[in-house]
Structure 1
Amino acid sequence: MTAHDVARALPQISLLRDRCRVLATLDAVMSPEWDGRYFSFDSHWAPDEDMASMRNGSGDEWSIVFASAGVFVRGFDHESDMSPYVNNGRLWPGLVESVPAVFADHVTEPAFSDGATLLATVCLWRQTEDDGWHAGDIAFPSGDDPDGANWLFAMLVDYSPEAYERFVEDYYESQVDSSAVRAVFALEPLTQELVQRLNPETDMAALADDLDQIGYRRCG
């Protein structure tokens, strides 16, 4: 599986934004300390732009920028043969050459680089008028997941409460209330009772700033 397969599997822009918000909200509850989170969402990242992100603490990450022109997706698997660290600081041929000009600022965004080069092994985009997602014309190295797209974006492609529960068991080494997870996946407003079912060690007051940043609906 490569970025091309992920491009065929991702939903339309509005649904992808919902998915990113749900995962960030659940992670905010599961890990009240931001440094320990896997998924995040910043609805105030830049004027008229939201950004969803993932980081696993081991050097792998992705960023999804939702802008008026569309969406730009960057993924980085630091162990991939397509990493610029493996290729003398150069991006893999074809990765960004066909990115539309409206996303040029995201390709050169300092927050997505190591100071010199975009940290990316996956690049996807979709303009608002497009009927699907796009990736560059790339000759991938051998392997089942040469660019890391399969595992990097697994939770956005295999999007289900059950998949998130499995993730919590693996990443947070914890169990989580299944019905509470399903409620957030159904975009139900977050309540004190729902938060407590997900994580008895936090509450709505402690999460207020995070929920404002994510932009997820809540009651009370």
Structure 2
Amino acid sequence: MISTKNFNLLPKKQEFQNLCKAISVLDAIICPEWEFRYYSYNSKWGEGEEFCEMRDGSGDLMNILFIEDKCIISGFAHELQNNEKVNVTKNLPQIYHEFIFGEPVTSNGTSFCLWINENNNWETGNVLDYNDSSGEMLAIFDGNPQTYIDWASEYFEDSYMETGIPFETVKEIYAGKILTKEMVLSIVEQVEDWQSLEDDLKEINYPYDFKI
């Protein structure tokens, strides 16, 4: 299982970024109300910066920054705070300091932290307690569409087609294929506001064509 103990199982930066976008697209389709989504992605978060966020509504969250060829993950498990930020960010490269010690990360909290180092490999600081919920939060990034389907089927309950979330559509979105109305309507019965979905896709910077 991917975790701070087995962080080398995380995908490389570009694949990880594509997964963050794909999962955020799927959440946007299934859950039109932004405030109730689990995953969201902003490709225009800052100059040369893109941002992904996970919020479970109960206090656990992840803030993820993509900058140049680098990436950093700040995770916070509200019931498991045995790791201090000063330890989990030990030897953190300077390029990440503004993000990890600024807002919103400082207010959100950090109980585990992972980043891409100068060798383009994942790294973490000093983890004193591996019981940090990182395994649960990072499991979605194994690259398997079925992992998302299993999670979303439980989390979103009846927000998708009665036949379930189709594996093939999720696979195509994971592969970055152009999103069509047909693909969207294979997941949900109807879309009340296509323009709103388009706005979400533009923010994520995911390709779509609703004319075909």
Check the 8 A contact 1:81/1:146 in 2, yes or no.
no
The aligned residue for residue 4 of structure 2 is 3
The aligned residue for residue 161 of structure 2 is none
The aligned residue for residue 95 of structure 1 is 88
TM-score normalised by length of structure 2: 0.89
The aligned residue for residue 79 of structure 2 is 79
Q: Is it true that 1:168 corresponds to 2:158 in the alignment?
A: no
Check the 8 A contact 2:72/2:116 in 1, yes or no.
yes
The aligned residue for residue 27 of structure 1 is 27
Give the secondary structure class of the aligned counterpart of 1:163: helix
The correspondence for 1:177, drawn from 160, 166, 170, is 166
Residues of 2 paired with 1:150 and 1:94: CA distance? 19
Q: Which amino acid aligns with 1:23?
A: I
The correspondence for 1:122, drawn from 96, 106, 112, is 112
Give the secondary structure class of the aligned counterpart of 1:153: helix
The aligned residue for residue 58 of structure 1 is 58
The aligned residue for residue 88 of structure 1 is none
User: Shift of residue 208 of structure 1?
Assistant: 1.0
* Greater CA drift, 203-212 or 49-58: 203-212
Q: Is it true that 1:209 corresponds to 2:199 in the alignment?
A: yes
State the aligned residue count.
203
Residues of 2 paired with 1:74 and 1:205: CA distance? 32
The correspondence for 2:181, drawn from 187, 192, 208, is 192
Residues of 2 paired with 1:186 and 1:100: CA distance? 31
Check the 8 A contact 2:21/2:204 in 1, yes or no.
yes
- Deviation above 3 Å: which 4+ runs of structure 1? none
Residues of 2 paired with 1:39 and 1:103: CA distance? 22
Give the secondary structure class of the aligned counterpart of 2:52: strand
Residues of 2 paired with 1:177 and 1:68: CA distance? 34
Residues of 2 paired with 1:180 and 1:72: CA distance? 29
Give the secondary structure class of the aligned counterpart of 1:134: strand
Residues of 2 paired with 1:195 and 1:4: CA distance? 37
Residues of 2 paired with 1:69 and 1:197: CA distance? 34
Q: Cα RMSD (Å) of the superposition?
A: 1.8
Kindly, what percent of the aligned residue pairs are identical?
27
Residues of 1 paired with 2:116 and 2:122: CA distance? 5
Gaps of 5+ in 2: 159-163
Residues of 1 paired with 2:100 and 2:111: CA distance? 12
Change (3 A) 1:113 1:92: closer
The aligned residue for residue 134 of structure 1 is 123
